[in-house]
A and B are shown apart, each in its own frame.
Chain A
Amino acid sequence: DSGVTQTPKHLITATGQRVTLRCSPRSGDLSVYWYQQSLDQGLQFLIQYYNGEERAKGNILERFSAQQFPDLHSELNLSSLELGDSALYFCASSVPNEKLFFGSGTQLSVL
């Protein structure tokens, strides 16, 4: 168990809908990262937050947004969902330890 908690584990929704993925980092970790992994693909970096503020942005679509709350948990919001958004979404946390630990992911299926 990495200590990073993601909910829900599975999410099935329809095109055009909006969903929210939640992540609780490891106790004491200040930074949260979101990654997207499509079938048999690598880990695509979406966005990073550090202590509530956006630190880095990757290939995140305008339809996607995220935030990190004062208690350090983070939410990734995906709107106007398309079939191609179906993927595994991972959250990871780090800092002050530089090691990056991943959650078990949320499997999003857009039908």
Chain B
Amino acid sequence: GENVEQHPSTLSVQEGDSAVIKCTYSDSASNYFPWYKQELGKGPQLIIDIRSNVGEKKDQRIAVTLNKTAKHFSLHITETQPEDSAVYFCAASRGKGQNFVFGPGTRLSVLP
């Protein structure tokens, strides 16, 4: 089955700096890769996603890149702000109606 690894497990950056979180997956049939942000005491919130036919996607300060050959994808957050502090999860899925396998999460701290 699918296995998703995520690094680093914790990340501290200064406000205004960039943050990068990397994930690798094992199942070459996976074709949908979402990223979630989880704030304390809340449910994971979808922040950006990418499909396997796209190499990069941006949404304001957030971007995701995908390398299908190497089976890895990354989340990039630019101009970080204290409110970006949270746990971020990556996931992989074979698509509609299929299961999602999550990475173990990255705790991001943005220091003011």
Listed in ascending order, the chain A residues whose CB lies under 8 Å from chain B are 2, 4, 30-31, 33, 42-43, 45, 48, 50, 55-56, 58, 90, 92, 94-105
Given the known interface contacts A42-B103, A50-B97, A96-B96, the answer about A102 and B45 at a Cβ–Cβ threshold of 8 Å is yes
The CA-CA distance from A104 to B46 in the complex, in Å, is 13
The CA-CA distance from A99 to B100 in the complex, in Å, is 10
Number of A-B contacts (CB under 8 A): 59
Q: When A and B form their complex, which 5 residue pairs have the shortest distance between CB atoms, in order from nearest?
A: A102-B43, A42-B104, A98-B96, A56-B99, A43-B102
Q: Does B101 contact A (CB under 8 A)?
A: yes
Q: List 29 A-B contacts (CB under 8 A).
A: A2-B43, A33-B99, A42-B102, A42-B103, A42-B105, A43-B102, A43-B105, A45-B99, A45-B100, A50-B97, A55-B97, A56-B98, A94-B97, A95-B96, A95-B97, A97-B96, A98-B93, A98-B97, A99-B34, A99-B49, A100-B34, A100-B46, A100-B91, A100-B93, A100-B100, A102-B44, A102-B45, A104-B43, A105-B43
